[in-house]
Homo-oligomer: A and B are copies of this chain.
Amino acid sequence: MAQSDTVDRILDAAEELFAERGFSETSLRMITSKAKVNLAAVNYHFGSKNALIHAVFARFLTPFSATLEDAFDDLEARCDGEPPTLNQTLWALTESAVRMPQRNEKGISIFMRLLGLAYTQSQGHLRKFLEQEYSQPFSRFMRLLKEATPQLSAVDRYWRIQFMLGATAFTMSSSDALQDILQNKLGVETTVQEIAARLVPFLAAGMQAEDTMLVPPPHKTSVA
């Protein structure tokens, strides 16, 4: 056991419980009892519950953002001046996520759910933490998206990026429950990789949809 694995045990338990139940709904007592660790250990090692939440994100996000930067470097190098296509950009992102070394078989889906929760639950401190710690790869991704969709107006692109984020965060954030339902109803086993493989074409098609027409025409109410 070398020094002390208490810190990792806490992080593991917290990660899993946060993903299952959300942040506010998970108490330190649940975490410490799942981790088989004394209650005070959290405040001793991390300082506060919020700091623990940040640490859970940092443990995954820091190596991930490095991997992602590499993937983007690779991609831009291969494209040699030409801006990467939308598909290439989206794939670079998902591949980076899937290739991360994972603590266990459901590591990625747990973390996707956490990211979804981070965006969804208002938790101001988390949002601030993520924005100021990981703004660089995020901005770079945004720039790539912009260069890959020059035909879109700024406003259209802005909203469609939100739609993409939403579809991704939402799907991944409820993927456990959804996978349960899907297994029961259709008898299909689905991995995160397969979900991503379905998601990317959906997003790419949405991004490249015909230009938005602001007056919704394809509808004829009451009057035939």
Interface residues of A (CB under 8 A from B): 20-22, 24-25, 74, 78, 85, 87-88, 91-92, 95, 116-117, 119-122, 154-156, 158-160, 162-171, 173-174, 178, 182, 186, 188, 190, 194-195, 197-210, 212-216, 218-222, 224
By a CB distance below 8 angstroms, the chain B residues around A202 are 159-160, 163, 206-207, 209
A201→B197 contact, CB < 8 A: no
Report 11 cross-chain contacts, Cβ distance below 8 Å, ordered by A residue: A91-B216, A92-B219, A119-B174, A121-B121, A159-B195, A159-B202, A162-B171, A163-B203, A166-B167, A197-B212, A201-B213
| Whole-angstrom distance between the Cβ of A165 and the nearest chain B Cβ | 7
A218→B91 contact, CB < 8 A: yes
Alpha-carbon separation in the docked complex, A19 to B19 (Å) = 21
Alpha-carbon separation in the docked complex, A178 to B166 (Å) = 12
A87→B218 contact, CB < 8 A: yes
Alpha-carbon separation in the docked complex, A116 to B121 (Å) = 10
Alpha-carbon separation in the docked complex, A214 to B194 (Å) = 7
Known: A160-B202, A197-B212. 12 other contacts (CB 8 A): A74-B222, A87-B218, A91-B218, A91-B219, A159-B198, A163-B167, A163-B202, A163-B203, A167-B170, A194-B214, A197-B215, A206-B206
- Which B-chain residue is minimally distant from A122 (CB atoms)? B21
By a CB distance below 8 angstroms, the chain B residues around A197 are 212-216
A24-B25, A25-B122 given; A178·B198 CB < 8 A: no
A198→B122 contact, CB < 8 A: no
By a CB distance below 8 angstroms, the chain B residues around A201 are 209-210, 212-213
Alpha-carbon separation in the docked complex, A54 to B201 (Å) = 37
| Whole-angstrom distance between the Cβ of A183 and the nearest chain B Cβ | 11
B198→A156 contact, CB < 8 A: yes
A178→B162 contact, CB < 8 A: yes
| Whole-angstrom distance between the Cβ of A61 and the nearest chain B Cβ | 19
Partner of A170, one of B160, B169, B188, B218: B169
